[in-house]
């Protein structure tokens, strides 16, 4: 088993005005896919990741381990600059 630490948004508070991040250990053998997404927070927009696991659960992660980030690309993590229209802004 290969465990790595991810920072995900707390599922219980995603519908509320305030979302919290929590650190979770995932077994990499049970991750099906990691997809870059935009995550809307009350104060900012982040580049993040949609993680799908073998048990069918889905998680929104704001940070993933560095070894996976090297494969996917560092431009997909971090805060989005809101100077441009968010729909026209490329992933950073």
Q: For 10-28, how does the pLDDT look when each residue is reduced to its tens digit (9 = 90+)? A: 756 545 556 688 999 999 9
Strand 58-63 relative to strand 45-53: parallel, antiparallel, unpaired? antiparallel
Q: Give the total number of structural domains in the chain.
A: 1
In a domain, 39, yes or no: yes
* Burial profile 14-53: b = 16 or more Cβ within 10 angstroms, e = fewer: eeeeebeeeeeebeeeebeebeebebeeeeeebbbbebee
In a domain, 70, yes or no: yes
In a domain, 42, yes or no: yes
- Expressed as residue numbers, the domain containing 13 is 3-79
Residue 29's domain is classified under what CATH number? 2.30.29
In a domain, 37, yes or no: yes
Take residue 52 and report the two structure tokens written for it: 């799908």
Q: For 45-89, how does the pLDDT look when each residue is reduced to its tens digit (9 = 90+)? A: 888 899 999 999 999 998 899 888 888 876 666 666 666 555 665
In a domain, 92, yes or no: no
In a domain, 7, yes or no: yes
| pLDDT at res. 91 | 56
| pLDDT at res. 10 | 77
| pLDDT at res. 18 | 61
In a domain, 57, yes or no: yes
* 49, 37 contact by CB (below 8 A): yes
């Amino acid at each position: 088993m290969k465990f790595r630490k991810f920072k995900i948004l707390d599922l219980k508070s995603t519908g509320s005005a305030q979302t919290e991040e929590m650190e979770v250990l995932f077994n990499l053998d049970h991750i099906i896919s990691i997809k870059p997404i935009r995550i809307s927070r009350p104060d900012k927009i982040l580049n993040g990741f949609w993680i799908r696991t073998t048990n069918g659960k889905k998680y929104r992660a704001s940070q993933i381990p560095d070894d996976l980030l090297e494969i996917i690309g560092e431009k997909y993590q971090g805060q989005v600059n809101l100077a441009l229209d968010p729909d026209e802004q490329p992933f950073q």
